[in-house]
Amino acid sequence: MSPKLSGRIVFLDYMRVFAFMSVLIGHKLEAPLQAFIADGTRHVTLRFFAEMLYPLCVGGAAGVVVFFLTSGYIITHVLQMEAPLEFMIKRFFRIYPLYMVAVILEWCMWHHLNGAPFPSLSVLVPQLLLIGDFFQTPHTLSGVEWTLRIEVMFYVFMAILKALGLFKNQKWMPWVLTGSACVLYLLPQIPAKEVWVHGYFTLYAPFLFMGGLVYLIQTGSANKYACVMSIGFMFVVFLVLISRFHPAWSQNHYALLALIIFLAGWAFGAKLPDGKVLRTTSDLTYSVYLFHNWLWTYLAILVESHGLKSISVNLQVFILLIVFCFMMHKLVELQAIKIGRKVLGVYKRRAQLKTPDNVLVVSQSA
């Protein structure tokens, strides 16, 4: 059965939690996981399960792919109901305020720890606007912000499709998305090879398209065979390009595993249990993603100096990270979303006030 499209889509919460755990383990706990697998004193069954878990966590790559598939699905769903400007206002306040706070706090931390000078505005402004690649500025948040850059550009792209009226007749969407992916493949790799993690946009943006195509299959808005062929085409091209751009990553099944996990969650989503813990964990994933890769270092220093000697350092750091991210979620992320709703409300009221005046002018002239 397909998951319901009314109300909260529960399987997406599971996908967010998986993505967050994969990325967190891949970035911060991969070495301990490898050591556990290699430790002959551990029970062979425990090592077997750890070995099965490892391909899902290496480098956080599978989590990133699931993140993009999930985002492509939900954005396609949201745009069924929201106008382009309404959509962009909501996305701006959902993404940027917490991201900007994270970037500024990261700079403050490195200044405090290492005496690193604060960046000039010519560096900081592009970083805060998520356009750093266009100005060759250093990456922030220990590198994880590249995914948000793809995300924001996808928002703009889909809002344009909505404005052009393609959501009114979505049978053309598989061909539009496939054509867009082909244009991306034919262009020089983005970013260029000289830039850190070259080609990431070329490689990973199509996974957002794939997530949207899964949504179209579910709703019957487009021909399912065209959608399946488009997904298959983009996935095969990814396998070819990842081998060319980053040969080391071609020795891992992370993309296939991520696609299988997402499709399994989608197919059995109606049977997955919901709950407050799941929703709270899902709500924290954006905050954890922004803070985990750089804040972990600072928290580890604090724990090693003032923490409990009888408890694992990683466990204490993880708990502190979750507590901090919960505070950021409540104090920054949710407040920004509320401000976004107010801004949108002001815009809608002004739009409604203008409409009667226009009608009045037309009636008087008649």
Kindly report, residue by residue over 340-351, the tens digit of the pLDDT. 999 999 888 887
3-state percent breakdown (helix, strand, coil) of the chain, nearest 5: 80, 0, 20
Element housing 312 (H / E): none
Dihedral class, residue 230 (left if φ above 0, else alpha if ψ from -120 to 50, else beta): alpha
Residue 4 and residue 282: Cα distance in Å, rounded?
18
Residue 303: both structure tokens together: 């724990």
Q: What is the DSSP letter of 333?
A: I
Q: Which of 19, 10, 56, 69 is nearest to 284 (CA)?
A: 19
pLDDT at 3: 45
| 103 touches 144 (CB < 8 A) | no
Dihedral class, residue 136 (left if φ above 0, else alpha if ψ from -120 to 50, else beta): left
Residue 104 and residue 141: Cα distance in Å, rounded?
10
Structure pTM? 0.90
Kindly report, residue by residue over 281-296, the tens digit of the pLDDT. 999 999 999 999 999 9
pLDDT at 349: 85
| 70 touches 211 (CB < 8 A) | yes
Residue 363 and residue 366: Cα distance in Å, rounded?
5
Element housing 249 (H / E): none
Burial class from Cβ neighbours inside 10 Å (0-12, 13-18, 19+) for residue 252 reads middle
pLDDT at 356: 55
pLDDT-flagged residues of the chain (< 50) = 1-6, 358-366
Residue 126 and residue 134: Cα distance in Å, rounded?
8
CA angle 65, 178, 220 (to 5 degrees): 85
pLDDT at 352: 78
